[in-house]
Amino acid sequence: MKKVRNPVKSHFLLISTALLLVTGCSSAAAPPQSEAPTQSDAPASTEKNEPGQKSQPSNSTETAPKPTEGQAPVKTPPKSSAEPQKPAASTIPEEQKPSGKPSDSVQIPDLDLEVVAEPQSVTVLVNKQRQLPDNYQPTDLVFPNVPYLLPAKSEKRQMRKEAAEALEKLFAAAKADGVALAGVSAYRPHAYQKALFNRYVQQDGLEKARTYSAVPGTSEHETGLAIDVSGADGKCAATSCFAGTKEAKWLADHAHEYGFIIRYPEGKDAITGYIYEPWHLRYVGNEVAQAIEEKQTTMEEYFGIAPVSSEQ
Ligand SMILES: [Zn+2]
């Protein structure tokens, strides 16, 4: 489960897909720049947990604080616009698409990450310490009917059904407010993340690769519940200059009304493990999204999960 030993048999074609694969979103694959994520790449906790077994902190949403039921969406003041920080992806990475052909890839060592027990929960919490079961694949992926910067049939448009429906409402509401949004990248298949990460490990070694790319199973994009969003013009897509744009402001003000949160808020990188990503939306459902918005907190804090940094 948490083992990711299987050599990813992949051969990479150099394809400069530019924006399509912009994954400056640090839970994705940012360019190999050491300043991208602020999170250290120190090895994960050595505590070993059996897959599927509850361990501390609990994976289960059942033990999470119960949000108040039936709350109306609460409008809160906008979060302060971020000064553009260090670029998460000031240059667009030239992605190399795994082709599925065999190669002599390296093996990703067992990092002993905690494996989440309920990967199918819409409130599943994955981060640098908490990983989806190996080869987890959402079963209800659909194509949200919203504009994307991706080709029409790209599998990266997909999201889980509930999240997709919420996203359509969010986009429609933004449009009604004169804010034109576009999807940059949503679902990322586990095999893809694995192949991508593997390539980075081959290139830079494990320690360095972990500073800019998510270990397979730890990217929220693999849940089908996360999406990177930009303005319709695609400027600043998944990069730090998105902060402070009217699209970013709209999302900060309204995402929670549709069950989404800004998963990596400004100044919380010691808790989430990622620098501010105003473009990365995570669907958690209305109640949790509203509660997190009211508290101006993070998923980790809301669910009582240890900060990522404290475990390193
Ligand atoms: Zn993202």
Query: In this structure, is residue 252 part of a structural domain?
Result: yes
Instruction: Flag whether 28 is in a domain.
Output: yes
- Give me ligand 1 centre to Cα 27, in Å: 6
Cα three-residue angle 251-267-91, rounded to 5 degrees: 70
Residue with tokens 């509203």: 290
- 99 pLDDT higher than 50: no
The better pLDDT of the pair 193, 187 is held by 187
Which of 277, 293, 300, 311 is labelled catalytic? 277
The number of folded domains in the chain is 1
- What is the mean pLDDT of the segment spanning 229-235? 96
Q: What is the model's pLDDT at position 210? A: 86
Q: 90 C-alpha to center of ligand 1: Å?
A: 15
In a domain, 140, yes or no: yes
Provide the residue range defining the domain that includes 299.
12-36+74-111+120-311
Centre of ligand 1 from the C-alpha of residue 217, in Å: 14
- For range 3-10, the mean pLDDT: 40
* Packing angle, helices 161-176 and 246-254, rounded to 10: 120
pLDDT above 90 coverage of the chain, percent: 59
Q: Which residue has the higher pLDDT, 1 or 211?
A: 211
Distance 77 CA to ligand 1 centre (A): 24
Q: Indicate the range of 98-102, 105-109, 175-179, 247-251 predicted with least confidence.
A: 98-102
- In the chain, the percentage of residues whose pLDDT exceeds 70 is 64
CB 7 within 8 A of CB 106: yes
Average pLDDT of span 259-278: 96
What residue spans of 114-245 are helical by DSSP H? 161-176, 190-204, 206-212
For residue 72, what pLDDT band results from cuts at 50, 70 and 90?
Answer: very low
pLDDT band at 126 (very low <50, low <70, confident <90, very high): very high
Residue 104 CA, ligand 1 centroid: distance in Å? 29
End-to-end CA distance of the chain: 21
Residues in the chain: 312
How far is ligand 1, taken at its centre, from the CA of residue 26, in Å? 7
Query: What is the reported pLDDT for 239?
Result: 93
Assigned domain for 56 exists = no
* 142 within some domain: yes
For residue 279, report the distance from its CA to the centre of ligand 1, in Å.
7
Alpha carbon distance 102, 7 (integer Å): 9
Least confident of 32-36, 114-118, 155-159: 32-36
Q: List, for residues 138-172, the tens digit of each pLDDT value.
A: 999 999 999 999 999 999 999 999 999 999 999 99
Residue 86 has pLDDT above 80, yes or no: no
Q: Is 277 a catalytic residue?
A: yes
CA 229 / ligand 1 centre spacing (Å): 8
d(CA 113, CA 126): 10
Question: Are the C-beta atoms of residues 260 and 282 closer than 8 Å to each other?
Answer: yes
Structure tokens at 113: 């990450």
Longest distance between any two alpha carbons in the chain, whole Å: 54
Confidence of residue 212 (pLDDT cuts 50, 70, 90): confident
| Arithmetic mean of pLDDT over the chain | 75
The answer as to whether 52 is a domain residue is: no
Select the more confidently predicted residue: 7 or 273: 273
Q: How far apart are CA 4 and CA 197, in angstroms?
A: 11
Residue 185: CATH number of its domain = 3.30.1380.10
Token readout for 87 is 């670029």
Cis omega (within 30 of 0) on the bond before 7? no
| pLDDT given at position 108 | 63
Distance 71 CA to ligand 1 centre (A): 27
Residue 62 within a domain: no
The pLDDT value recorded for residue 309 is 79
